[in-house]
């Protein structure tokens, strides 16, 4: 996209966006699991300048996660099998949420469970009232690193049941985070929308594995893991594109390999309303702030006054 007017290159860009019922100050957020549970990134930038801080997924109970090693670098990305380590909902609300509130950050709470009931219980801890500064609940249906059950987001009935259970508990907007490891993504996106999801977050990690050259054994303590980073960016673009084409009115948060202004813009052109930055944060903890500034500069340089101006351009 070449700019439509040189005159516009000096104009301010309004970076605020709307994702369903949520108005965000900026189109760029953090991605769940890649910047901790609280204000860990505050040393690297102003959290209030981001669209939101999306915290690592929390369950109703404290959870220890998987054995080390939990992360492993690969070409153009990384593998992880952290296994959803977390303090549990009650401790997070007590200890971590106030730290985010004191930064004036908008917060997206991510929750997970092993059963529909556990998702319901996690949501119930939050309760039906407003819980400043939480602006939305992202339901992680797509973690590839938990043993004992498959990926919820590969089962349309289970995914719909989880979303219904969460929607019954909270009045906040609910986003369903889906998996790219299935060819039924478009149908599942429709089912979670019908179950009450305000938006879908696309995508979680891609199933992967690396071996240790000395032992021939898996490099991660868990065996398999999830691939993320630049390597999966085209997977995310395709997922966002296909869901947007099939469900033009369903708000989409795009995530996967966003590392600069153009990769963020590309997801928005594919159909995302907003984007998240994950793995790039491991190489550079300031990445979400840098990408936010980069996207703004990219839009300005191309003569656009808002992310909305390029949203879904691939479909026009
Ligand atoms: C170390 C690590 C931990 C993650 N933990 C979570 C998590 O707790 N919940 C979740 O929904 N996604 C989790 N993700 C997935 C990311 O939020 C994101 O969907 C995925 O990594 C793709 O984006 P990226 O390429 O920008 O990292 C994790 C990713 C990584 C790399």
Residues whose beta carbon lies within 6 Å of some atom of ligand 1:
31-34, 56-57, 71, 78, 80, 82, 84, 110, 140, 177, 204-205, 228-229, 232, 255-258, 277-279
CA distance 169 to 46: 32
> How open is the CA angle 287-290-295, to the nearest 5 degrees?
120
pLDDT tens digits, one per residue of 95-153: 999 999 999 999 999 999 999 999 999 999 998 877 899 999 999 998 766 656 678 88
List of domains in the chain? 6-315 (3.20.20.70)
Tell me phi and psi for residue 202, to 5 degrees. Answer: -130, 115
Residue 17 pairs with which residues in a beta bridge?
24
Q: Which atom of ligand 1 is nearest to the CA of 232?
A: 25
Pick the atom of ligand 1 nearest to 229's CA. 25
Nearest to 56 by CA among 106, 112, 16, 98: 112
- For a mutational test of ligand 1's pocket, the pick from 84, 204, 260, i.e. the residue with the most ligand atoms closer than 8 A to its C-beta, is 204
110 near 30, Cβ under 8 Å?
no
Q: Which of 28, 143, 161, 174 is catalytic?
A: 143
Tens-digit pLDDT profile for residues 26-63: 999 999 999 989 999 999 999 999 999 999 999 999 88
Identify the CA nearest to 178 among candidates 269, 158, 245. 158
Token representation of residue 108: 């997206």
Mean pLDDT score, 228-242: 98
pLDDT higher than 90, residue 251: yes
Q: Is 143 a catalytic residue?
A: yes
What does the alpha-carbon distance between residue 122 and residue 127 come to, in Å, rounded to a whole number? Answer: 9
Distance between CA atoms of 116 and 152, rounded to whole angstroms? Answer: 10
What's the pLDDT tens digit per position in 172-208? 999 999 999 999 999 999 999 999 999 999 999 999 9
């Amino acid at each position: 996209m070449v700019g439509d007017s040189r005159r516009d290159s000096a104009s301010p860009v309004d970076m605020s966006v709307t994702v369903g019922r949520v108005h965000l100050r900026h189109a760029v957020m953090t991605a769940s699991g890649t910047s901790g549970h609280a204000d860990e990134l505050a040393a690297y930038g102003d959290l209030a300048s981001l669209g939101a801080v999306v915290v690592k997924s929390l369950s109703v109970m404290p959870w220890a996660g998987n054995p080390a090693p939990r992360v492993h670098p690969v070409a153009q990305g990384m593998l992880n099998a952290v296994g959803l380590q977390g303090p549990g909902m009650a401790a997070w609300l007590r200890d971590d949420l106030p730290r985010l509130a004191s930064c004036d950050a908008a917060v997206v709470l991510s929750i997970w469970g092993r059963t529909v009931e556990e998702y319901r219980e996690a949501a119930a801890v939050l309760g039906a009232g407003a819980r400043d500064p939480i602006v939305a609940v992202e339901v992680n249906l797509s973690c590839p690193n938990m043993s004992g059950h498959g990926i919820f987001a590969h089962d349309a009935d289970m995914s719909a049941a989880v979303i219904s259970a969460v929607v019954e508990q909270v009045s906040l907007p609910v986003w369903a985070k889906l998996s790219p490891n299935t060819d039924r993504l478009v149908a599942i996106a429709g089912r979670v929308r019908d179950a009450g999801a305000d938006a879908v977050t696309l995508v979680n990690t891609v199933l992967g594995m690396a071996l240790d050259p000395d032992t021939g054994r898996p490099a991660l303590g868990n065996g398999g893991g999830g691939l993320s980073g630049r390597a999966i960016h085209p997977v995310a673009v395709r997922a966002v594109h296909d869901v947007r084409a099939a469900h033009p009115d369903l708000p989409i948060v795009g995530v996967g390999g966003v590392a600069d202004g153009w990769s963020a813009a590309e997801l928005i052109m594919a159909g995302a309303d907003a984007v998240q930055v994950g793995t790039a944060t491991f190489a550079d903890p300031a990445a979400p702030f840098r990408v936010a500034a980069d996207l703004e500069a990219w839009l300005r340089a191309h003569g656009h006054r808002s992310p909305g101006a390029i949203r879904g351009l691939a479909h026009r």
